[in-house]
Amino acid sequence: MGCSKWRAALNIGHLRVQSKLSVFFTMIILFTYLFYCLNGYCDSLPRPVYDQQSNHQNKITLNDGASQQEKITHNASQVFREQMSDFSDGSSDNISIANTFGSKKFPQAIIIGVKKGGTRALLEFLRIHPDVRAVGSEPHFFDRFYDKGLDWYRNLMPRTLEGQITMEKTPSYFITKEAPRRVFSMSRHTKLIVVVRDPVTRAVSDYTQTLTKSPGLPSFQNLAFRNATTGLIDTTWSAVRIGIYAKHLENWLRFFPLSRLLFVSGERLVTDPAGEMGRVQDFLGLKRVVTDKHFYFNQTKGFPCLKKPEGSSRPRCLGKSKGRPHPQIPSEVLHRLRDFYRPFNLKFYQMTGHNFGWD
């Protein structure tokens, strides 16, 4: 009987010790957790599985079945985050306020050609307009960097506000076989501008530019003819090939109606910049802001320059590379080249419904 009481007392004592130890270890855990939370470590703890699943489900709902208002709110927050990221990328002294408003969009209009036709002048003239935002350098997305993807391309664009249009220019698009399909895949509503110029004059200008970079280049006539005796033109030479406008236009008309294209005269852009700019602004759906009051003719360079804006000490002219003197080309060479282009020019006039008067 005494042994039984002793064992019972021993068991009770053992249970009390276990209970006290449990309370002791629980208190240690709680105090440890409290210490970590007070020091800011709680935020790094793993999130509950149900919370992660809930957020994932919310994303699915947003993409598949959210209301229009929810999508607008979500998109607005995305734009806000993009804008705020502009402030954290560098020193606050270098922040441009213009870069913190609006959103980056695919270009609604592209100057697709042609090289040495007057595309740089057109873009500079358009930049006067407050509703035009354009990329400075040529992106070459649809001919060289298409594999980088549309997100990469859109990120190159400047931010625009409601009512403004985004533009870019890459003259080589016009002669790139894959470009029409790629632009159409981005947006079938893209407006396309082609600045064209007398193909003979354009070829000489093209050669002149190349000659300044490569002084040891063969003569113009050696490059233009496969056989100087027969007068057979070498259409593989890019300076000649670019000027066969009708051939390149056929490629674009497979994807875009003629109403989506505007053909700007490179010659008229020099002799009557305000008149040609009026056509361009109408085509883009813009108010005619750029007028003759913005231009004056630079006799030295031989083309129009922009009058100096308020607060500027001098007018804006294109760079030194524009308006170079052309080398002397034998008249017989130019005559043969003009004969070569004549049937292509006539077809181009017919296709566009406009006689550019090159013949």
Phi then psi for residue 306, to 5 deg, are: -90, 135
What is the rounded distance in angstroms from the CA atom of residue 52 to the CA atom of residue 56?
A: 6
Q: Is 116 part of the annotated catalytic residue set?
A: yes
In one-letter notation, the amino acid at residue 120 is R
Which residues fall in the annotated binding site for 3'-phosphoadenylyl sulfate? Answer: 116-120, 197, 205, 322-326
Cross-strand pairs, 111: 169, 193
Question: Which among 141, 132, 186 has a CA at the least distance from the CA of 160?
Answer: 132
Residue 212's alpha-carbon distances to 203, 215, 216, 327, in angstroms, are 15, 6, 9, 11
Query: Contact, 178 vs 142, CB < 8 A?
Result: yes
Residue 13's alpha-carbon distances to 3, 117, 147, 353, in angstroms, are 15, 102, 77, 108
**Residue 260, Cα to own-chain centre: how many angstroms?**
19
21: left (phi over 0), alpha (psi -120 to 50) or beta: alpha
Phi then psi for residue 265, to 5 deg, are: -80, 120
Which residues fall in the annotated binding site? Answer: 116-120, 197, 205, 322-326
Cross-strand pairs, 295: 306
What is the rounded distance in angstroms from the CA atom of residue 113 to the CA atom of residue 128?
A: 20
Cross-strand pairs, 265: 196
Angle at 223 between CA 222 and CA 225, to 5 degrees: 70
In one-letter notation, the amino acid at residue 26 is T
Query: Contact, 266 vs 195, CB < 8 A?
Result: yes
Q: Which of 5, 71, 104, 116 is catalytic?
A: 116
Query: What residues act catalytically?
Result: 116
